[in-house]
Amino acid sequence: MEPDATHRKARQSPPPKDWDDFADCLNSVGVASPNKLRQTRRPAKIGRNECINLPLRAAGGALNCGLGFSKRIRNCTNKIYHMTISKQRKAEVIKEHGAKEGDSGSPEVQIAILTERINGLTEHMRTHNKDYATRRGLLGLVSRRRRLLDYVRGEAPQRYLDIIGKLGIRK
């Protein structure tokens, strides 16, 4: 039996007051319109230090609005920047481990990039040890790197020894 529309509407909770203030704040900075933000997925309750589910551009614009959202946004952006590898760092890794200019597909380069990502996520996991979603992703990266290392070991054992020595990976 399908409940009528009024019954469904009554069960939905209104958006938190905090969220409306935040949407107006972003609108005043010129980052996003409040109506667009109210349509995005939002948490039922915004805690003091919880991340807000917004694009990074919108989060950066809220730092200057002065309504007390800056600490929450800063925590979110720090988390995002800490867990990823920058384009510049990735280019350095490719240049350092590639056989020639623009070599991004060789196993050595892929292993080096994965190692950089693994190191960043390991640092994140030291401070956020209950972040199980990140842990699952980290284990996936480690297993992908292990498969690539097994491939290199089968093809050229000397290259395998060179790469694990250079990157400091255990056998």
- Structural domain of residue 42, as residue ranges? 14-82
Task: Check if the beta carbon of residue 83 is closer than 8 Å to that of residue 124.
Answer: yes
- In the predicted model, is pLDDT for residue 8 greater than 90? no
Which of 75-84, 86-95, 133-142 tops mean pLDDT? 133-142
Same domain for 63 and 26, yes or no, is yes
Shortest CA distance to 69 belongs to which of 80, 79, 58?
58
Q: 81 pLDDT band (50/70/90 cuts)? A: very low
Looking at residue 2, its pLDDT comes to 54
Q: 85 pLDDT band (50/70/90 cuts)? A: confident
Looking at residue 35, its pLDDT comes to 59
Same domain for 107 and 156, yes or no, is yes
Cβ contacts of residue 100 below 8 Å, gap of 6+?
none
Task: Check if the beta carbon of residue 90 is closer than 8 Å to that of residue 115.
Answer: no
Please give the Cα distance from 18 to 5 (Å, whole number): 27
- In the predicted model, is pLDDT for residue 169 greater than 90? yes
- pTM (whole model) above 0.75: no
Looking at residue 156, its pLDDT comes to 96
Same domain for 106 and 138, yes or no, is yes
Domain stops at, among 49, 64, 82:
82
Number of domains in the chain: 2
CATH assignment of the domain containing 112: 1.10.287.10
In a domain, 54, yes or no: yes
Looking at residue 120, its pLDDT comes to 92
* Helix and strand totals (H; E) in the chain: 9, 0
Task: Check if the beta carbon of residue 53 is closer than 8 Å to that of residue 43.
Answer: yes
Q: What angle do CA 71, 74, 76 make, to 5 degrees?
A: 110
Looking at residue 111, its pLDDT comes to 97
Tell me the backbone φ, ψ of residue 50, rounded to 5 degrees: -85, 150
Stretch 162-170: mean pLDDT: 94
Same domain for 58 and 119, yes or no, is no
* Residue 142 structure tokens: 């480690």
Looking at residue 76, its pLDDT comes to 52
The tens digit of pLDDT for each residue in 49-77 reads: 444 545 444 444 444 454 555 555 555 54
The percentage of the chain sitting over the pLDDT mark of 70, rounded to a whole number, equals: 51
